[in-house]
Amino acid sequence: MRKGIIVQKFGGTSVANPERIIGVAKRVAATKKKGYDVVVVVSALGGTTDELVDLAGRISKNPAEREMDMLLATGEQVSVALLAMALHELKQEAISLTGAQVGIVTDSSHTKARILDVSTQKLRKELRVGKVVIVAGFQGVNLDQEITTLGRGGSDMTAVALAKVLKAKMCEIYTDVKGVYTADPRIVKDARKLDSISYEEMLELASLGAKVMQARSMEVAGKFNVPMHVRSSFSKKKGTLITKEVRAMEDVLVRGVTAKKDEAKVTICDVPDKPGEASRIFELLAKADINVDMIVQNISRTKATDISFTVPNSDLKKTQEVVQKVIKTIGAKAVTYNKSIAKLSVVGIGMRSHSGVAAKMFKALAAKKVNIEMISTSEIKISCVIQKKDADKAVKAVHKSFGLEKKPKK
Amino acid sequence: MRKGIIVQKFGGTSVANPERIIGVAKRVAATKKKGYDVVVVVSALGGTTDELVDLAGRISKNPAEREMDMLLATGEQVSVALLAMALHELKQEAISLTGAQVGIVTDSSHTKARILDVSTQKLRKELRVGKVVIVAGFQGVNLDQEITTLGRGGSDMTAVALAKVLKAKMCEIYTDVKGVYTADPRIVKDARKLDSISYEEMLELASLGAKVMQARSMEVAGKFNVPMHVRSSFSKKKGTLITKEVRAMEDVLVRGVTAKKDEAKVTICDVPDKPGEASRIFELLAKADINVDMIVQNISRTKATDISFTVPNSDLKKTQEVVQKVIKTIGAKAVTYNKSIAKLSVVGIGMRSHSGVAAKMFKALAAKKVNIEMISTSEIKISCVIQKKDADKAVKAVHKSFGLEKKPKK
């Protein structure tokens, strides 16, 4: 009697060299021996993708995205073949499959394709005969059999999609950290590993730069309620379970604190206070594919107002081009850019039903003389823009003020 | 008006790094500008295949052939993507295709698959809109969409197969030598580049170890009369045309001289001179997949005979295992092995209608005191086994005796 299907995803550092690939094979074989059907998703060998990008860069400054996908998809294909060989060495039957061979069908947005459909026929056929099925992460094909890739962190999406269509018991994300922490342990010494976290909280943390999982994958996992387990490739200990919101969770005000340091703040001064002005700015930014994050409009003085927003540093140049044009047409007076900022956030489902989180956070920051430049809040998150130099100090202070180093009582 | 299709095949050294890939792109674009439709076949970047084989070797001593194909096929996929990018930089429209995407269908003999069918639909569609089509060499898929590879030198086969189905005007094989020579120019200083050579002669030379083209590809090219041109990636000069036998060619006795140094000679002594004994030996060797080359049976003394044959050095161990068993059952007395041999051959279609070639060859060898251990002849080839240490001296002497350094009068 089979116990059901487990999907295991291993990132690039977990398969960085033959020795690690053999380690992964042992882990996979052990899971299979416990009676589970196992589907493994692997990324490219650590460093491979960067090497390929570099090769392409030596040929073209702006390579066609279709050809980038053709190029990059080879990385995962190498990994799956090698892992299959490693499993064979352990006398475990296994077969490697490319995205195309599985039937991972995506749209045609090369380099950032979205999965439309995953065929389970081939997967189930191979599982039925007792094989471990090893699937190349990060890749698919469109309806014309063109190879596509799912963007950075896309192997997470492959794993979540497979877990969903196969109705897997668990989708395990193996990584080089032990799980999800209340804060970055490199900054906060007594940061605590969480036993569990909700999809929503995890999504906020992911989008805030806690690089454990790709944000979009988390969104999909939550939407379809795919049970997830983030854990270390180098340890047998349990990591962090990601589940639906549960009763016990609600007693916790704040799940974690994080600081994002790769955004810039843009302020457009003296925008005439007429309806539609602001929307015109953000329409143009959206057209230019710029990912605007926080937006704050200050209280209007006289008949003009200041609008501030944050964008990823990588989009700042594009943003400047757009903004320079737009301020003339809307009659704004000036614009300032600031790259020395950080976005400090606290995340927790408990905020929904409790007040006072913001006050506690601001008080902790004030005590350390950290100046707050912008504030924005959502149902389960409060974010403040502060000076980048204050970021680590601020994370520590806020982490302590919420007592995150202590395990909450249930 | 299109001038027709040209297939251009570039080997690993021609695409060893980004600079060379850009060089190849210029060459391809220039052909396209002349008004031809161009299909390009590329091998993996020089060294890549060896690196992948090494990676596999660090995981498994005997990796599954299916997984080796999955692994090795990535090499060519990288090349085609990079070459497409390089052509785009030159403002030449181009698209890369894997073997699967073209529809190169093979049998299921992983690592040494044979092409069953090549679909031209996708190729013609892309050519029609003015694109250069870049096809990953060496690879295909079987009917179950499993990735297969065609064995060492398989990109030649891809090029020949594409040229055949597309009825190409020419199949150009770009390599790091300038063409086909009357002898190895590293050994014979005044060896001459041939303007043209027949398929048959080329096939004999390829199978004799002149590494310009894979022998099997040559066979297929000849069978379907695919016009070929072997030429240098690093020069614009014409190389050597490979064509059907033509009248002018027949006046030439000998086209070239070559020595193969990677075979071993096996002699089984005192084989009882009964019908069927010899065939039993070679049946068993064939079963063990050992490629027996020359076979010579000496004149029978009393009631026993000696049988000698040559095998590739790489098969010698397997051969010894087979032979040790068989000599007992057939009652042979002893067996000797000699790895210090070379096989010296002269090749030429003219031999068919002329005698005296063998005599001239033996005389040249005798004059240099080179001892002949075995002789075998075919319609267009004479081969002698000699001591390996004599090989270079013998090639020079025979080359000179046939006056190959001089261009023949027409």
- What CATH number has the domain bearing residue B151? 3.40.1160.10
Domain end point (choices A176, A196, A211):
A176
Model confidence over A132-180: pLDDT tens digits?
A: 999 999 999 999 999 999 998 899 999 999 999 999 999 999 988 889 9
Do the beta carbons of residue B342 and residue B374 sit within 8 Å?
A: no
B59 and A85 within 8 Å at the Cβ level: the answer is: yes
The radius of gyration of chain B's CA atoms, rounded to the nearest angstrom, is: 23
Cα of A133 to nearest chain B Cα, Å: 13
- Cα B37 from Cα B39, distance rounded (Å): 7
Secondary structure (DSSP) of B147-186: EEE--TTHHHHHHHHHHHHTT-SEEEEEESSSS-BSS-TT
Q: How many domains does chain B have?
A: 2
Nearest to A164 by CA among A216, A227, A91, A211: A227
* A41: enclosing H helix or E strand: strand A37-42
Model confidence over B51-82: pLDDT tens digits?
A: 999 999 999 999 999 999 999 999 999 999 99
Give residue A409's region: left, alpha or beta (phi > 0; psi -120 to 50): beta
Query: Strand A196-198 vs strand A37-42: parallel, antiparallel, or unpaired?
Result: unpaired
Domain end point (choices B123, B145, B176):
B176
Model confidence over B22-39: pLDDT tens digits?
A: 999 999 999 999 999 999
Sign of CA dihedral A241, A242, A243, A249: positive
Residue A331's pLDDT band (cuts 50, 70, 90):
confident
The mean of the pLDDT values for chain A is 90
Q: State whether B143 and B276 are in the same domain.
A: no
Q: State whether B149 and B255 are in the same domain.
A: no
Asked whether residue A327 carries a pLDDT value surpassing 60, the answer given is yes
Cα of A344 to nearest chain B Cα, Å: 41
Residue B131's pLDDT band (cuts 50, 70, 90):
very high
- Give the pLDDT mean for A188-217: 84
B contacts of A96 (beta carbons < 8 Å): 67, 70
Model confidence over B370-385: pLDDT tens digits?
A: 999 888 888 888 999 9
Q: Domain for residue B242, yes or no?
A: no
Asked whether residue A249 carries a pLDDT value surpassing 60, the answer given is no
Residue A76's pLDDT band (cuts 50, 70, 90):
very high
Q: Look at residue B338 and give its three-state secondary structure.
A: strand
Residue B352, beta-bridge partner list: none
| Structure tokens, A408 | 């909450």
A52 touches chain B (CB under 8 A): yes
Q: Domain for residue A277, yes or no?
A: yes
- Cα B257 from Cα B208, distance rounded (Å): 10
Residue type, B82: L
Model confidence over B133-177: pLDDT tens digits?
A: 999 999 999 999 999 999 988 999 999 999 999 999 999 999 888
Residue A289's pLDDT band (cuts 50, 70, 90):
confident
Return the number of other C-beta atoms located less than 10 Å from residue A78's C-beta: 26
Model confidence over B269-297: pLDDT tens digits?
A: 888 777 677 778 888 888 888 888 888 87
What are the start-end ranges of the E strands in B58-114? 94-97, 104-106
B34 touches chain A (CB under 8 A): no
- Give the pLDDT mean for A74-85: 98
- Cα B191 from Cα B392, distance rounded (Å): 13
Q: State whether B153 and B302 are in the same domain.
A: no
- Give the pLDDT mean for A192-209: 85
Report B:61-80 residues touching A (Cβ under 8 A): 63-64, 66-68, 70-71, 73-74, 77-78, 80
- Identity of the residue in B56, B80, B96 whose CB atom sits nearest the CB atom of A85: B56
B90 touches chain A (CB under 8 A): no
Q: Domain for residue A332, yes or no?
A: yes
Model confidence over A334-346: pLDDT tens digits?
A: 899 999 999 999 9
Q: State whether A278 and A370 are in the same domain.
A: yes
Q: Look at residue A194 and give its three-state secondary structure.
A: coil
- Give the pLDDT mean for A31-45: 97
Asked whether residue A281 carries a pLDDT value surpassing 90, the answer given is no
* Structural domain harbouring B322: 247-410
- Give the pLDDT mean for A210-220: 82
Nearest to B217 by CA among B141, B150, B292: B150
- Give the pLDDT mean for B219-231: 94
Q: State whether A257 and A371 are in the same domain.
A: yes
Model confidence over B310-366: pLDDT tens digits?
A: 999 988 999 999 998 888 888 888 899 999 999 999 998 888 777 788 888 999 999
What are the start-end ranges of the E strands in A107-260? 115-118, 132-136, 139-141, 147-149, 170-175, 196-198, 228-232, 240-243, 256-260
- Give the pLDDT mean for B120-132: 97
Sign of CA dihedral A240, A245, A251, A257: positive
- Identity of the residue in B22, B60, B71 whose CB atom sits nearest the CB atom of A88: B60
A70 and B77 within 8 Å at the Cβ level: the answer is: yes
CA dihedral A386, A390, A392, A396 (to 10 degrees): -90
Placement of tokens 């070379």 in the chain: B342
Domain end point (choices B159, B176, B193):
B176
A85 touches chain B (CB under 8 A): yes
Q: Domain for residue B378, yes or no?
A: yes
pTM of the full predicted structure? 0.85
Q: Domain for residue A356, yes or no?
A: yes
B59 and A82 within 8 Å at the Cβ level: the answer is: yes
B95 touches chain A (CB under 8 A): yes
- Give the pLDDT mean for B200-206: 85
Asked whether residue B260 carries a pLDDT value surpassing 80, the answer given is yes
- Identity of the residue in A22, A80, A84 whose CB atom sits nearest the CB atom of B64: A84
Do the beta carbons of residue A306 and residue A297 sit within 8 Å?
A: yes
